[in-house]
Amino acid sequence: MLHRYAVPLAIFGALALAPLLGFGAGHSLSLLARAMILGLGAVGLSVLVGGAGLVSLGHAASFGIGAYAVVMLDAAGQTNAGVVFPVAVLAAAVFALLTGAVAIRTAGVNFIMITLAFGQMAFFTAASLSAYGGDDGYTLYARTRLFGTRLLENRWFFHYLLLALLVLAWVAGRRLLASRFGRVLRAIRENPLRVQALGFSPYPYQLLAYTLAGALGGLAGALLANATEFVAPSFIAWQRSGDLLFMVILGGLGQLHGAVLGALAFVLLEEYLAELTPHWRLIFGPLLVLVALYLKGGLLGLVQRRG
């Protein structure tokens, strides 16, 4: 038996050491930044899917809202992180609250379809924002300022900031799932009728979880806009929501660091396969199918079985 913190410590340790061990070049760091940002969103999605049993296919919408908040404020001359990030998080949370209020009244496949529909609604809205580049997207000429400084442009600082946020989100997510609130969420996933018979109404619990995941997605989106210095509607496309869902499943449901592992594996695989051949999707696609079919516990299951 591995120590229960062995795997998460290894993942976060590797991310902490990577820049010192030959991954300090600009390209490697942006790759890792992308993985950590997607990991941040995937942790939130993992709380929803693995914890609450809410399989959302519209999670990229919260990313998009966070990202567009950054460019809209930038266009309006507001680049102070103390304003930009709270607005991005709040906007994504409000979107999740409003759409979740409708979506959570449904269950199962209907929930998947309705979250997909809301996601597409956000996508087409973004594509029609001609002031922000429409389909072509919008280039951010400078990153958000932290306390009036350009610290976020420093790749090393940005790397460790992302890592700190990722660890924080992981810890908070774990606490949440183990708390009274999380216990009710997990019980709803197992048997909603039983939970009602105990005296709980599932709706407010699920809606709050959905809103919190949306808020975390908004933060990740705002960071993504800063990492790529560019925002486009493709950030919100349903394929991105599918990618996020796949990261969660690839890493392994049930434990939040699975989502981080999944995001890392996904981004690195995508990158290195693309280097190998221009037809990398021909390999990537079937690989995903195989993982879904045969790797029941995801990558975590694989690691822990070995342990």
Partner 1 sequence: MGEPLLELRGLTKAFGALKVTQDVSLTVLPGEIHAVIGPNGAGKTTLVHQVSGTLGPDAGSIHFAGRDVTRLPLARRARLGLARSFQITAVLPGFSVLENAALAVQARSGSSFRFWRAAATEAALNDTALDALARVGLQDRATTLAGDLSHGERRQLELAIALAMQPRLLLLDEPLAGAGPEETERLVGILAGLKARYGILLVEHDMAAVFALADRISVLVYGQVIATGTPGEIRANAEVRAAYLGEDH
> Of the candidates 128, 179, 239, 277, which one interacts with partner 1 according to CB under 8 A?
179
- State the Cα–Cα distance between residues 19 and 14, nearest whole angstrom: 9
Identify the residue whose tokens are 């183990």: 178
> Of the candidates 21, 76, 109, 193, which one interacts with partner 1 according to CB under 8 A?
193
- If binding is defined by CB under 8 A, does position 109 make contact with partner 1? no
Q: Which of 213, 299, 291 lies closest to 255 in space, CA to CA?
A: 299
241 HSE (CA, 13 A, CB side) = 25
- If binding is defined by CB under 8 A, does position 107 make contact with partner 1? no
> Of the candidates 4, 105, 150, 194, which one interacts with partner 1 according to CB under 8 A?
194
CB atoms within 10 A of CB 85: 20
Min dist. Cβ of residue 78 to partner 1 (A): 31
3-state secondary structure of 230: strand
> Of the candidates 75, 142, 178, 282, which one interacts with partner 1 according to CB under 8 A?
178
> Of the candidates 23, 157, 181, 280, which one interacts with partner 1 according to CB under 8 A?
181
Residues 41-80 close enough to bind partner 1 by CB under 8 A: none
Amino acid at 295: L
Q: How far out from the chain centre does Cα 160 lie?
A: 18
- If binding is defined by CB under 8 A, does position 198 make contact with partner 1? yes
Min dist. Cβ of residue 254 to partner 1 (A): 9
Name the DSSP class of 144: P
Give the range of 23-31, 95-103, 183-191, 265-273 binding partner 1 by CB under 8 A: 183-191
Query: 181 or 246: whose CB is closer to partner 1?
Result: 181
144 HSE (CA, 13 A, CB side) = 29
- In order of 53, 55, 170, the CA distances from 112 in angstroms are 11, 6, 25
Query: 138 or 205: whose CB is closer to partner 1?
Result: 205
Residues at the site binding partner 1, with contacts judged by CB under 8 A:
175-176, 178-184, 186-187, 190-191, 193-201, 205, 208
